[in-house]
Amino acid sequence: MSNSSAENSPISTAGGGRHFSMSANDKFTIDIPSPRLQVNTNTNGNLNSPNTLKSPTARRIAGFSREGILGSAQKARNLSQSSADRESMTNGNQNRQASDDGINPHKRRSTDAGVDYPRRRATIACEICRSRKSRCDGTKPKCKLCTELGAECIYREPGIKLDAGDKLILEHLARIEGMLQSSLVGQTSNLAISAGSPSINGRTTISTDEEMMQNGANFISMLPATGLGTWTTPTNISTMPKIHTNAALHLLQWPLIRDLISRPYDPQILLQLEMSREPLTLSKTPCLDLSNTSAYIEAFFAKVNCWYACVNPYTWTSYYRIALSNGFREGPESCIVLLVLALGQASCSGSISRISNVQDPPGMPYFAAAWALLPSLMTRNTVQSAQCTILAAAYLFYLVRPLEAWTLLSSTSTKLQLLLSAPGRVPTGQRELMERVYWNALLFESDLLAELDLPHSGIVQYEENVGLPGGFHPEDEESVGRDELWYFLAEIALRRLLNRVSQLIYSKDSMASTQSLEPVVAELDFQLTQWYESLPLPLQFPYNRSLLQDPVQTVLRLRYFACRTIIYRPYILAVLDNESAAMDPVVRDNCRKCLEASIRQLEHITAHHAGHIPYLWQGALSIASQTLLVMGATMSPSLSAILSTLVPHLDAVDAIINDVVTEVERYVHLAPSLSLSAEIIREAEMRRRAYLGT
């Protein structure tokens, strides 16, 4: 069994303490050529700027379409008469006046017969005659002047003739378009708009439309749009794109891999299955057993709160006292205590995939009691009510109910956006809790958007304004546990990196060729290595292939390899699409990195149980996509040769895939989306073996 080379493995750094390089205001520094923007309009109608934009979003914004704006100009032209039409009308009037007006200076007399004739002018003048301001006889294909000059004679089509008014409109539109482009990227590039355009009297001024655009840009930057489903062009590349191809089942469209399934699947199939599943059935009168509450509370703070970090261990005792005094029947404190008990009991029972589907999942009675309290809390717009919905969503993820969790997250998002939309709405003492609830909501939503085509809530607009958690302040009361923040902060940084990968590689505006991807992939992999090296020593997982005892290290290692896989996955597609692409050493090396990361996620498949409380659904879809990737690689001569260097022999790959099929089969009863994933993997493996003759 060959290990990875030293230069490709993360290197641990000495020193302790928390030193994450994961500021919410972090910048992405890869230089991608982008256009230069300036409001000044030169003689060619181009827009220039003294500042080169560094943000990759500028490359996409630079493709801003003028079709919508120019549609207004076309309507304006249709409502106005062209200069030629006015000329013909003028000539007609002269014709009618010729017989009555013998002293018209614009008439010329014939010396042969004393009859006055109007001056003959071409209805449409060619470009040469227009530029020389000379008369054009309108002869086609060449007028007399162009014939004499030997020049190319070009006539404008009647539908696109521009008079002075048309040109003025287009100049204003070009200037407004430039300001629109600048305002879209101004927040990230700090581009200063200081320009004017020649006014009618020839002076350089800042026109009214410029002032409106500048004031409008300032207003938008101060008050971001809020509300469910709101989506504006993001200036932060650490967010999930609206449209991307990073979902697990997208691999079913790849060459060779699509031959492993008997029928095509609608990209929306997972969402449709989750929407049509039977609703969650909860008891209206749950029987609460409070005899083991101490054990469940201890288990929550030892095994669960490390993932979410949204319950303060220093104020827990006061929460519990209030809930107990209310009989667990009202108030946010009662709801929070019940949800903590539900998640704590769930953490004591191992993976839910190993629990029979004929019995209630662990913690269900506590969750049912908390669910009965949620309607009254969902109408409140407080930090505590948002904390309740986040904890309820966490338990729904444990039950593998992603769409129900998303519904609660939508409520959480609207509450948080309302609280964040004006200063002073969050009490100082609740600011830390609000930040933790916010990041949980954003992490959950990003995970869901990575696989399902759901509306974006708009909460991401506040990411740059919300700080990272810094720790709860200890109270006088006795603490029931430690305030674990290390994993939570590491996950925030990694999720932002995963979103950058989706933006730069898998969004609809991302680069297509492997040559253009090379610097982007190198930068993203460098950031992933930096993320690892910034982990505190207790969280830094070893790079070897041994099983880990620490569940936090196990989950971080699996997330690390998942991120590395999707960074290099386009190179696998390039080889599956064209086998000769593997002749390029860079492509071949990047394929090796991708396949190695995939194998590392699959070789110890039961290690995924460590993250089954927060990540079972997300992890199962990740397993399915990596398995399809490895299956396709075994069908390619070039990729199969690379795989043989990563395992002792290719039979080991068959054994790994067989273990995955067996494991995913255990998820069938948990969710219809996972049932379909298991069906796809099972059929794909049967067809792969038939293809290879094994």
* Radius of gyration of the CA atoms of the chain, in A: 33
Does residue 289 carry a pLDDT above 50? yes
Which ranges of 455-550 would DSSP assign to H, the alpha helix?
A: 486-501, 514-533
The whole-angstrom separation of Cα 610 and Cα 165 is: 70
* Nearest one of 239, 227, 237 to 421, comparing CA atoms: 227
Q: Residue 376 is which amino acid?
A: S
> Scanning the structure block, which residue is given the tokens 């600011």?
431
pLDDT, position 33: 37
Pairing of the two strands 108-109 and 197-198: unpaired
Does residue 81 carry a pLDDT above 80? no
Q: Residue 654 is which amino acid?
A: D
Q: 329-360, pLDDT tens digit by residue? A: 999 999 999 999 999 999 999 999 999 888 89
225 to 444, 460, 503, 674: CA distances (angstroms): 21, 11, 21, 35
Helix (H, G, I), strand (E, B) or coil at 27: coil
Query: In the structure, what pLDDT confidence band is assigned to residue 103 with cuts at 50, 70 and 90?
Result: very low
Query: In the structure, what pLDDT confidence band is assigned to residue 204 with cuts at 50, 70 and 90?
Result: very low
170 to 69, 78, 166, 689: CA distances (angstroms): 10, 14, 6, 63
| Crossing angle for the helix pair 402-420 and 431-449, to the nearest 10 degrees | 140
> Scanning the structure block, which residue is given the tokens 């994961």?
22
Does residue 579 carry a pLDDT above 50? yes
> Scanning the structure block, which residue is given the tokens 């991708």?
594
The whole-angstrom separation of Cα 124 and Cα 160 is: 12
Identify which of 176-185, 474-483, 608-617 has the greatest average pLDDT.
Answer: 608-617
pTM for this one?
0.69
Arithmetic mean of pLDDT, 132-157: 83
Whether residue 141 is preceded by a cis peptide bond, meaning omega within 30 degrees of 0, is yes
467 to 19, 103, 434, 618: CA distances (angstroms): 16, 85, 10, 26
The whole-angstrom separation of Cα 214 and Cα 225 is: 17
pLDDT, position 84: 41
CA angle 488, 376, 378 (to 5 degrees): 40
CA angle 601, 605, 492 (to 5 degrees): 50
Give the range among 179-193, 465-479, 663-677 with minimum mean pLDDT: 179-193
The whole-angstrom separation of Cα 266 and Cα 404 is: 22
The helix (H) or strand (E) run that includes residue 394 is: helix 383-398
| Higher pLDDT, residue 303 or 71 | 303
Q: Which two tokens stand for residue 386?
A: 């948002």
**Burial profile 39-55: b = 16 or more Cβ within 10 angstroms, e = fewer:** bbbeeeeebebeeebbb
What is the phi/psi pair of residue 109, to 5°? -100, 145
pLDDT, position 317: 92
Q: 392-431, pLDDT tens digit by residue? A: 999 999 999 999 999 999 999 999 999 999 888 999 999 9
pLDDT, position 157: 61
Is the Cβ–Cβ distance between 271 and 453 less than 8 Å? Answer: yes
| Crossing angle for the helix pair 551-577 and 514-533, to the nearest 10 degrees | 170
pLDDT, position 85: 44
> Scanning the structure block, which residue is given the tokens 């109007």?
118
The whole-angstrom separation of Cα 47 and Cα 58 is: 14
Half-sphere exposure of 14 (CA within 13 A, CB side): 0
Query: In the structure, what pLDDT confidence band is assigned to residue 174 with cuts at 50, 70 and 90?
Result: low
Give the range among 98-107, 188-197, 317-326, 408-417 with minimum mean pLDDT: 188-197
Give the range among 350-359, 557-566, 674-683 with minimum mean pLDDT: 350-359
642 to 590, 650, 693: CA distances (angstroms): 11, 10, 20
The whole-angstrom separation of Cα 369 and Cα 77 is: 67
The whole-angstrom separation of Cα 344 and Cα 371 is: 16
Is the Cβ–Cβ distance between 493 and 21 less than 8 Å? Answer: yes
Q: Residue 694 is which amino acid?
A: T
Does residue 215 carry a pLDDT above 50? no
Pairing of the two strands 116-117 and 108-109: antiparallel
Arithmetic mean of pLDDT, 366-380: 95
Q: Is 338 exposed, middle or buried (0-12, 13-18, 19+ CB in 10 A)?
A: buried
Is the Cβ–Cβ distance between 683 and 262 less than 8 Å? Answer: yes
Give the range among 121-125, 157-161, 539-543 with minimum mean pLDDT: 157-161
Mean of pLDDT over the chain: 78
Task: Name the DSSP letter for residue 490.
Answer: H
pLDDT, position 8: 45
Question: Which CB contacts under 8 angstroms, 24+ apart, belong to 544-551?
Answer: 544/3, 545/1, 545/3, 545/600, 545/603, 545/604, 547/604, 547/607, 548/607, 551/303, 551/610, 551/611
Query: In the structure, what pLDDT confidence band is assigned to residue 124 with cuts at 50, 70 and 90?
Result: confident
pLDDT, position 359: 87
SS (H, E, C) 595-636: HHHHHHHHCCHHHHHHHHHHHHHHHHHHHHHHHHHHHHHHCC
502 to 524, 578, 610: CA distances (angstroms): 11, 23, 26
Task: Name the DSSP letter for residue 193.
Answer: -
What is the phi/psi pair of residue 205, to 5°? -135, 165
